[in-house]
Amino acid sequence: MNLTNPFSLAGKTILVTGASSGIGRSISIACSRMGASVIITGRNEGRLASTLSAMSGEGHSLLPVDLATDDGISSLASQVPALDGVVHSAGIGHRLPCKMITGRDVDEVMGINFKSAVLLQAELLRGKKIKKSASLVFIASRAAESPSIGNALYSASKGALISYAKCLSLELAPRLIRVNCICPAMVWTDLILQGGLSKEDLEKEQLKYPLKRYGVPEDISGLAVYLLSDASSWMTGSCVDITGGENKL
């Protein structure tokens, strides 16, 4: 552990998925500022380049791939070096009444929010791309335990991710590899603006939170840095709520 700064990521190589926007973008920038060499990935090369341009330091790289495909997962896993940390942040929002859900909806949401993370992580482990004492962070959601109308598939996908991560933490503990989830409540990203409410409605709703606001991506990136750093070396199998005080089930 860096005794000067226990949250330093100097000397660590971190992979961040979903790095082209929102929480993934913010985590990538924060990790670079803490000294990590960061590999960012997502589907949109232009937006990834924007993230890269906002990062500090040198030695970073971008790998545009589509993790919803087997080829994309294999390509990414084969190109990355041995990793000290992975942040699984790729995901999509989805609001639809339960009676309207189709097989295509299930495949799309579970495929991106759950399946792609599981298969990528498996490929990285098989390829021996995860170092001993590494840290794996999954961006889940309070939605897994906080139901809302129309949010069934998204909530289910994040609940599945949490259950998977807890099992993974047990399997990897002998190698001192830590596995934790971050479960944010509402955060100002493109995802919440796609949920059917206007920005004005959301601005009113956020005042119901004890801290009187929704989160911003930077609120989440600080917690991710902690989980990736040696400061969290005795923490695994945990799901950390970060909610502005809003814990209503």
Q: Under a CB-based contact definition with an 8 Å cutoff, are residues 81 and 129 in contact?
A: yes
User: Is pLDDT above 80 for 11?
Assistant: yes
Give percent above pLDDT 70 in the chain: 97
User: Is pLDDT above 60 for 218?
Assistant: yes
Q: Is residue 103 part of a domain?
A: yes
Q: For residue range 102-131, list pLDDT tens digits in order.
A: 999 999 999 999 999 999 999 999 999 999
Q: Is residue 248 part of a domain?
A: no
Annotated catalytic residue within 154, 164, 214, 226 = 154
Residue numbers of the domain that contains 118 = 13-239
Q: Is residue 8 part of a domain?
A: no
Q: For residue range 236-248, list pLDDT tens digits in order.
A: 999 999 999 997 6
Strands, sheet with 130-139, edge to edge from the N-terminal-most edge strand: 61-64, 37-42, 13-16, 83-88, 130-139, 178-184, 239-242
Residue 194: which residues within 8 A CB-CB, separation 6 or more?
Answer: 93, 95
Phi and psi based region of residue 176 (left: phi greater than 0; alpha: psi -120 to 50; beta: remaining)? left
The domain tally of the chain equals 1
Q: Is residue 18 part of a domain?
A: yes
Q: Is residue 6 part of a domain?
A: no
pTM comes to 0.96
Q: For position 9, what pLDDT does the model report?
A: 98
User: Is pLDDT above 60 for 249?
Assistant: no
Residue 126 to residue 122: CA distance in whole angstroms: 6
Question: What CATH number is associated with residue 198?
Answer: 3.40.50.720
Residue 83 to residue 214: CA distance in whole angstroms: 32
- Indicate the pLDDT class of residue 4, thresholds 50, 70 and 90: confident
Q: For position 190, what pLDDT does the model report?
A: 87
- Indicate the pLDDT class of residue 191, thresholds 50, 70 and 90: confident
Q: Is residue 249 part of a domain?
A: no
Q: Is residue 2 part of a domain?
A: no
Taking CA atoms, 223 is separated from 26, 183, 184, in Å, by 11, 11, 10
Q: For position 3, what pLDDT does the model report?
A: 57
Average pLDDT, the chain: 95
Amino acid at 56: S
Q: For residue range 54-90, list pLDDT tens digits in order.
A: 999 999 999 999 999 999 999 999 999 999 999 999 9
Mean pLDDT across 162-187: 98
Report angle CA 158, 89, 32 to the nearest 5 degrees.
150
Query: Taking Cα atoms as reference points, which of 19, 53, 69 lies closest to residue 39?
Result: 19
| Whether residue 154 lies in the annotated active site | yes
Structure tokens at 248: 């209503």
Residue 90 to residue 80: CA distance in whole angstroms: 17
Q: Is residue 188 part of a domain?
A: yes
User: Is pLDDT above 70 for 195?
Assistant: no
User: Is pLDDT above 70 for 211?
Assistant: yes
